């Protein structure tokens, strides 16, 4: 089984020294560099390239520069999807966003998990867990979402939060670690 196959199955894999994965990361970083260099006024060109970068998109999406990812093909976004400036998605596992998702500036979505033991970590072995964000979610600026997290539909994640565990639907959640503090009632 290839290291890529192991990565996609969530099994431990060689992240640093595998040639196939290194080549894929290099290629997508070139594409992200190109995307980030296209002037905002060239919207059609930007839209065309971001749809090549991402694994699955619907029609309406807008991603501000700068945007970075590891592979691209593990990222799925829904309709009316928006990311503000300086987003990083480390998509060693699937990162899936629903419809009507708004993400503030300086956010990170990290699927990779590294061993705690330094000797093992130094071998380059890691594994990854997926991240899922439901429909109608607003993620404030400076939020970090860690591996294996699901954010339920209709929820709002407060600025600066670090999401370490699942967040239910229709709540306001804030903090480090991020916790639900309020249920969202219709017309709030």
Active site residues per annotation:
114
For 59, residues 6+ apart whose C-beta sits below 8 A from its C-beta are 79
Distances (CA, A) of 181 to 98, 109, 184: 23, 22, 10
Element (H or E) spanning 25, and its range? helix 19-37
DSSP assignment, residue 171? Answer: E
Tokens of 120: 């093992």
Q: Is 140 helix (H, G, I), strand (E, B) or coil?
A: coil
Strand partners, 174: 179
Max CA-CA distance within the chain?
A: 53
- How many other β-carbons are positioned within 10 Å of the β-carbon of residue 9? 12
If phi > 0 it is left, if psi is from -120 to 50 it is alpha, else beta; for residue 170 that is left
């Amino acid at each position: 089984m290839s290291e890529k196959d192991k990565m996609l199955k969530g099994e431990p894999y060689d992240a640093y020294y595998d040639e196939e994965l290194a080549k894929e990361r290099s290629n997508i970083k070139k594409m992200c560099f190109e995307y980030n260099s296209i002037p905002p006024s060239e919207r059609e060109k930007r839209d065309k390239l971001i749809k090549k970068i991402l694994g699955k998109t619907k029609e309406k999406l807008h991603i501000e520069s700068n945007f970075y990812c590891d592979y691209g093909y593990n990222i799925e976004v829904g309709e009316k999807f928006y990311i503000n400036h300086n987003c990083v998605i480390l998509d060693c596992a699937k990162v899936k966003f629903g419809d009507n998702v708004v993400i503030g500036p300086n956010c990170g979505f990290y699927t990779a998990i590294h061993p705690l033991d330094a000797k093992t970590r130094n071998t380059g072995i890691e594994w990854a867990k997926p991240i899922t964000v439901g429909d109608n979610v607003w993620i404030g600026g400076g939020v970090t979402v860690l591996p294996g997290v699901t954010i339920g539909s209709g929820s709002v994640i407060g600025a600066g939060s670090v999401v370490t565990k699942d967040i239910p639907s229709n709540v306001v959640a804030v903090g480090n670690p991020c916790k639900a503090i309020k249920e969202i009632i219709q017309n709030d």
